[in-house]
Structure 1
Amino acid sequence: MTSTLKISLKANDKIYINGAVVRVDRKVSLEFLNDVQFLLQHHVLQAEDATTPLRQLYFAVQLMLIDPETADRSREEYRKMLARLLAILSDERLLAGLKHVDALVSEDQVYEALKVIRSLYPLEAELLQNAGTQEEIAEIALPRAVGQ
């Protein structure tokens, strides 16, 4: 189903659209008349900021959208990370959220999957805070995502 979506950008904002990076030089509104995969600049996670398991998962999913040429490799890394998270986490809220993320990624709803991952950050922070020692947190940590 196709829907219309209107986005307003300020001067020098970037938007990632189907793998292309677009920067606007003045305030502008974009109206998408068909389905499109996009990511706003303020939702782009830099590699050095992927410091927690969910942020690393986000980074891998983000690369599927931003860099279509490496999407298959990013999807493979995402699958590995997700499997590890599902195996070690016991928090039902996080598990349910990650299963929802996986369903969205499987349906190629990458932008929606990123929104769900961002919504899980507070739960992850709570888990990491309650983990206590750095050794316990290190056990939860994942290998670096693709592109790092």
Structure 2
Amino acid sequence: MALKVELKPGEKLLVGNCIITNADQRTRLFIDGKSPILREKDILTNATATTPAKRIYLAVQLMYIDEDISTGRETYFGLINDFLEAVPSSIEIVNEINNEILTGALYKALKAAHRLIEYEQDLLNHVPTGRPRLPADDQGS
């Protein structure tokens, strides 16, 4: 069964090692085969991988595009180990990514890595800002 992809005007699509850019109107494509496929919105670059989880996603993305786990294995595991040290509560998502990579399901690993980005963002959204209120602040009131 073919994968159906609808592209907005100007939207890009990665198929294998090729970038396809849509013209000025909506387009529907049907793609048969097993080449890696990513929409523009799902592609990260070195410049856009600005957080630890995004760098993990980028490492998985490179494995997926190259269809070769060895491409980024060292980088990936270095990033994962650092991330787990900083965020041990992410172990469940990290285990999922690892299992998908080990079974060769790199697209599923990429989706799990996207959940890691969301998890990281959720943690960052709940970090208190400003300086903490200290008991000494209440003196003199």
TM-score, normalization by structure 2: 0.72
SS at match of 2:118: helix
Give the C-alpha shift of residue 6 in structure 1. Answer: 0.8
For 1:64 and 1:21, locate their aligned partners in 2 and report how far apart those are by CA, in whole Å.
Answer: 17
CA RMSD of aligned residues (A): 2.7
**Closer/same/farther in 2, CA of residues 129 and 9 from structure 1, 3 Å limit:** closer
Aligned to 1:34: 33
Q: Could you tell me how far apart the structure 1 residues matched to 2:57 and 2:67 are?
A: 18
**Secondary structure, counterpart of 1:108 in structure 2:** coil
Gaps of 5+ in 2: 130-141
Letter in 1 for 2:91: L
- The DSSP-based 3-state class of the residue aligned with 1:49 is coil
Quote the residue 2:101 is aligned against. 105
Q: Supply the distance in 2 between the matched residues of 1:86 and 1:118 (Cα, whole angstroms).
A: 16
User: Identity of counterpart residues, as a percentage?
Assistant: 26
Question: Could you tell me how far apart the structure 2 residues matched to 1:61 and 1:95 are?
Answer: 17
| Larger CA Rg, structure 1 vs 2 | 2
Larger relative CO (CA 8 A, sep 6+): 1 or 2? 1
| TM-score (ref. length: structure 1) | 0.69
Secondary structure of the residue that 2:47 maps to in structure 1?
Answer: helix
Q: Say how many residue pairs are matched.
A: 128
The 1:15–1:113 alpha-carbon spacing in structure 2 relative to 1, beyond 3 Å, is same
Extract structure 1 runs of 4+ deviating beyond 6 A: none
Conserved in 2, the CA contact under 8 Å of 1:37 and 1:110?
no
- Give the aligned partner of residue 43 of structure 1: 42
Counterpart residue identity of residue 79, structure 1: F
Deviation larger for 95-104 or 74-83: 74-83
Structure 2 partner of 1:146: none
Gaps of 5+ in 1: 134-148
> Displacement of 1:115 after TM fit?
1.7
Q: Say which structure is richer in helix.
A: 1
Q: Which residue of 1 aligns with 2:62?
A: 63
